[in-house]
Amino acid sequence: MDPLYGIPETAREEFVAWYRQARVPQIRYVAFLTTVLYLIYAATEQNVAGEQQGLRLFVHGVLVSAALLAVGVMSFYSAWYRPMLWLLSTAPIGAVAANLYFNSQQGDFAYYVPEIYLNLMWTFTVSGLALRQATLTASISVLLILAVTLGSSLEPGVQRLHLVWILACVSFGFLSAFVLEKAHKTMFLNQSRLALSASIDGLTGLWNRARIDQFFAEEVARANRYGTPFSLILIDIDHFKSVNDTHGHTVGDTVLRQFAALLRDNVRSVDKVGRLGGEEFLIVLPEANEQQAQAAARTLQQRINGFDFDTVCRRTASFGVTQFLAEEGLHSMLERVDRALYRAKENGRNRIEAL
């Protein structure tokens, strides 16, 4: 079964981007190596082939080599990815067509036919094409080969051997490309799961400190570049120590989990909610100014005040709110929101203060 079966569309798109990134170096190295090998082939062929030497030299030494060289060069530029892929998919078909044109009617076709077999294996396992694209390219090549060589001068026994070789190349090639692509998909999924688990706070399921710091840094960079506003809300549960002291740590943990769920469920989907540690939480609100952030904090305050926590019933929290100021750094913004929270605590708790 496809390892990516059932995953969300966005994760599938991430895989496509990741896989593309992973294949580009392979495409590049293979294209350069194959260019060199085709140049050697073109020179060597001159000593063997009796006919059409000039044309053979032009096709193998210039056309095919130039196409492969172009693939290698284009692989350095992401804007050229699609044309590069198109060239990579069509070059093997062109090479097969040239081989058939030069050799299929010759008595010494057997000398040249290995290029065709190698071409099919190359397309599947070496080229760097994704399975679907490689299958399409190889299928067109096989159709061409069959259309030309089934009606050629090959003797029946040789003809059957020829078909066995094609079958072997296609089946080995397809199988190894299939297994490799499946392994890549599994690797991608494992890597994504690891990355996610390294970003999640184990108790609450919110983003952990490292990840929320990263979101915060990304927003600061974005705000500095595009001048878009964004805000922070820093939240601390009031007198949380008394929950632990009175009811024990397990109840404290349940309150933290329920509190986290309240935050997560009552912000916009673009807002990032993280737990900084203990009973302190940070929300990054992209594209929100101070008024909007205060409104968001009021909504959260109402939800928290109206919620019945297990065992402890009602709890309150204090909020610090601040908006990003042009050109400021992470540290000064964090320090300001911390001061706002401190002020909320000082002024009696269960309050929202903005600075």
Ligand X SMILES: Nc1nc2c(ncn2[C@@H]2O[C@H](COP(=O)(O)OP(=O)(O)OP(=O)(O)O)[C@@H](O)[C@H]2O)c(=O)[nH]1
Rounded to an integer, what is the distance from CA 5 to the centroid of its chain?
16
Span 72-131, contacts to ligand X by CB under 6 A: none
Span 246-275, contacts to ligand X by CB under 6 A: 249, 252-253, 256
Q: If binding means CB under 6 A, how many residues of this protein chain bind ligand X? A: 16
Radius of gyration (C-alpha) of the chain in whole angstroms: 32
341 token code pair: 């929270």
Q: For ligand X, which residue of 279, 284, 297, 319 counts as binding (CB under 6 A)? A: 279
- List the one residue out of 115, 94, 93, 92 whose CA is nearest residue 103: 115
Least distance in angstroms from the C-beta of 243 to ligand X: 7
Other C-beta atoms lying within 10 Å of the C-beta of residue 138: 26
The contacts of residue 297 (CB under 8 Å, 6+ apart) are 233, 235, 319, 321, 352
Q: Which is nearer to ligand X, 216 or 240 (CB)?
A: 240
Catalytic residue, candidates 45, 115, 219, 279: 279
For ligand X, the nearest residue by Cβ is: 252
Q: For ligand X, which residue of 12, 239, 298, 303 counts as binding (CB under 6 A)? A: 239
- Residue 167 identity (one-letter amino acid): L
Q: Which is nearer to ligand X, 20 or 349 (CB)?
A: 349
Span 177-206, contacts to ligand X by CB under 6 A: 203
The yes-or-no answer on residue 279 being catalytic is: yes
Q: How far is CA 188 from CA 1, 81, 207, 291, 331, in A?
A: 16, 21, 21, 41, 35
Other C-beta atoms lying within 10 Å of the C-beta of residue 123: 30
Q: Please report how many Cα atoms fall inside a 13 Å half-sphere around the Cα of residue 283, on the Cβ side.
A: 30
Q: For ligand X, which residue of 244, 289, 292, 311 counts as binding (CB under 6 A)? A: 244
Q: For ligand X, which residue of 278, 295, 305, 329 counts as binding (CB under 6 A)? A: 278
Q: How far is CA 293 from CA 1, 186, 347, 355, in A?
A: 46, 41, 20, 12
* Cα separation, 234 vs 337, whole angstroms: 6
Q: Does 345 bind ligand X (CB under 6 A)?
A: yes
Least distance in angstroms from the C-beta of 222 to ligand X: 31
Least distance in angstroms from the C-beta of 240 to ligand X: 3
Stretch in the footprint of ligand X (CB under 6 A) among 73-81, 110-118, 233-241, 326-334: 233-241
286 token code pair: 């992209």
Least distance in angstroms from the C-beta of 353 to ligand X: 14
Q: Which is nearer to ligand X, 228 or 244 (CB)?
A: 244
Q: Does 314 bind ligand X (CB under 6 A)?
A: no
Contact residues for ligand X, defined by CB under 6 A: 203, 236-241, 244, 249, 252-253, 256, 278-279, 345, 349
Catalytic residues: 279
